[in-house]
Amino acid sequence: MRRKRRDKNSKSSKVVPGIMISLCALIIIYLGMTIYFKNNFYFGSTINGINIAGKTVEEVEKELSSQIDTYSLELEERGDIKEQIKAIDIGLKYDGNKIKELKDEQNTNSWVPGLFKKKDPVMSKVVTYDEELLNKSFDKLSCFDSSNKIEPKNASFNYTDDGYEIVDEVKGNIINKDALHDSIVDAIINSKSKINLETENCYKEPQYNSKSQEVIDTKDLLDKYTDLKITYSLGNDTEVVDGSKIHNWLHVNDKMEVTFDEEKISNYVYKISSMFNTFEDTRGFVTTTKKTIKVSGGNYGWIVDKSKEVKDLIQTIKNGQSITKEPIYSQKAMSRDKNDIGNTYVEINLTKQHLWFYKNGALVVEGDFVSGNASTNTLTPAGTYILNYKEKNATLKGEDYSSPVEFWMPFNGNIGIHDASWRTEFGKNIYMTNGSHGCINSPYELASTIFKNIDAGTPIVCFYE
C-alpha cells in the first residue's frame, strides 16, 4: 500500500512542473509576438489584396511605392478600344502617415483575436491623387472624341410584305461622364488595373431594346394597323388602302407610341377627293329636247370633307377595321351615278327662257320666265347649282329696289326662282332689254307649284344653247 502512494505522488510532481513550463513558454511567446506586432502588421493583413502580413510600416511603404510608381489603369471600351490613365498623369502617390495610422489601429495586446479577424484596409486610406490632373486626363480620353460619336438608338421597326420586323437597337458609344468618372476614381483608390466600361455601366444606353415589352407591344400594334384593308368604292371604281400605304403614315416616337402623319394622310385624302368630288365639274346634260350639252360652273356636286375624312380614316385604322366605305362629304349631290344630277331637278334653258321641273323622273311643271338683263350686263350665270332653301313671303332688296315675293327659292347667292307679280308677260326675248337683276322671274302659278314640290338640295341646271 505504501508503494502505490509513492507512485501517485511521483506522477503529480512531474505534471505540475510541466504545466508551469508550458505556461511560461506561452507567456514568452505571447510577449514575444506582442513585441513583434508592435512594429509589424498582423498575419493575414492585406491592403486591397496586397499581402502586408508581418511587414513593418517601412516595408509596406516601400512595396506600395514601387507599385504606385508603375500603376496604370486600363479602360476597356466598346469596339475593342483600350486606353490608359497612368499614375504620373494624375499625381498618384501613397501617404506614409496613413500607413502608420493603419498600423497604429492594430491593438498590439490583442494580436491573438487579430489572427482570426481579417482586416483589409481600403487603398483610399493610403493613396492620394491630384484632382485637377485627373480631370485633365479624363477630358483627354479618346472616348469623348466628338468625331467618333455614335448616338444610342432605340430598337426600331421595318415594314416588309409579311408585316413589321424589329430592328435591333444601336448601343452607340456615348459616355455617361459622371458614371465613368466615379468608376475611374474607385478603380484608382482601390488599385484596380482595369475597368470595362460596359460592365461598369458607363455608357448611355437606348431606352428600349429589341426585347423590351414596350417594343413588342408596339410591333403588335403596327401589325394590327397594317393588317387590314379599307376599300373606297364608287361604282366600278375602287381604291384600296392596305398596309402598303398605311405603313407610310405611321411613326413611332421615342416613347414607343405609334403616331399618324396627318399631312401624308391628308395628301392621300386629297387624291381620294379627286375621285369622289363632282363639285364644279363640267357635266354632260341631256335637255328636255334630247340635246346633249356641256354645263360648266355652279356650286352643285359632291364635296369630300377632307379634314373629317382624315380623322375618320385614322380612327378606322385604329379600330383595325377592314371595311368598304365612302368618304365623309361636306356637300352631297342627288346621285352617286356618273350623272350625279339624278332624276329630280329644275332645267332652266336661259336661251329659250323656259324651265322644266322634274321630280323622280316625272315632269311636275314647266313654263316661261324672265332671267337676268342682258343690256345691263346682269345675265343669269350658267352652271349647275343647288337649291339652298325655300322661303315664303320674302322681300328681295338691292341697291335700287325692294321687292316683296311670296315664293323665294335661292340657288346662287342672291339669285333664285321667285314669283314676279309686277310682270304681266314672260318668256320670249324680254330678258334682252327688260330682264331681272339675275333672278328667274316666274309667273305666280309656276313659282307656287315649284315651291310646293321642291326641297333644299335639288339641282338647278342653268344653260344657254
Q: What is the pLDDT of residues 340-391, one digit of tens each?
A: 999 999 999 999 999 999 999 999 999 999 999 999 999 999 999 999 999 9
What b/e sequence results for 71-90 when a residue is b if at least 16 CB atoms lie within 10 Å of its CB, and e otherwise? bebebebbeeeeeebebebb
Indicate if 418 belongs to the active site.
yes
- What's at 255, amino acid-wise? K
Fold (CATH) for 214-281+301-331? Ubiquitin-like (UB roll) (3.10.20)
pTM above 0.85, yes or no: no
42 closest CA partner among 121, 153, 97, 96: 121
Residue 384's contacts (CB-CB under 8 Å, 6 or more residues apart) are 283, 285, 295, 297, 298, 300, 301, 341, 459, 460, 461, 462
Backbone angles phi and psi of 189, in degrees to 5: -75, -15
CA–CA dist 71, 89 (Å, integer): 10
State residue 273 phi and psi, 5-degree precision.
-60, -40
Of 2.40.440.10, 1.10.1200.10, 1.10.3720.10, 3.30.530.20, the CATH number of 345-463 is 2.40.440.10
- How is residue 230 written as a grid cell? 379599307
Question: Cα angle vertex 444, ends 438, 449, to 5°?
Answer: 100
DSSP string covering 250-286: EEE-TTS-EEE-HHHHHHHHHHHHHHH--TT--EEEE
Catalytic-labelled residue, pool 143, 418, 437, 462 = 418
Q: Is 143 a catalytic residue?
A: no
Instruction: Locate all alpha helices (DSSP H) within 37-81, ordered by sequence.
Output: 57-69
> What span, in angstroms and rounded, lies between the C-alpha atoms of 149 and 119?
44
Annotated catalytic residue within 143, 202, 437, 439: 439
pLDDT of res. 296: 95
Query: If you compute the radius of gyration of the chain from its CA atoms, what whole number of angstroms results?
Result: 51
Give the E-state strand segments of 161-207 in sequence order. Answer: 163-167, 194-196
What is the H or E stretch that residue 302 is in? none
Q: Enumerate the β-bridge partners of residue 52.
A: none
* Strands annotated E in 289-434: 292-295, 303-304, 323-325, 329-331, 345-349, 354-359, 362-368, 383-386, 391-397, 402-412, 415-419
- Per-residue pLDDT tens listing for the chain (465 residues): 445 555 555 555 556 666 777 777 777 766 666 666 667 776 667 665 667 777 787 777 677 767 777 889 999 999 999 999 999 999 988 776 766 777 676 665 555 555 555 544 444 457 788 999 999 999 999 999 989 899 999 999 999 999 999 999 999 999 999 999 999 999 988 888 999 999 999 999 999 999 999 999 999 999 999 999 999 998 888 999 999 999 999 999 999 999 999 999 999 999 999 999 999 899 999 999 999 999 999 999 999 999 999 999 999 999 998 999 999 999 999 999 888 999 999 999 999 999 999 999 999 999 999 999 999 999 999 999 999 999 999 999 887 789 999 999 999 999 999 999 999 999 999 999 999 999 999 999 999 999 999 999 999 999 999
**How long is the chain?**
465
Cell numbers that stand for 347 in this block: 332645267
Q: How do the domains of the chain map onto residue ranges? A: 214-281+301-331, 345-463
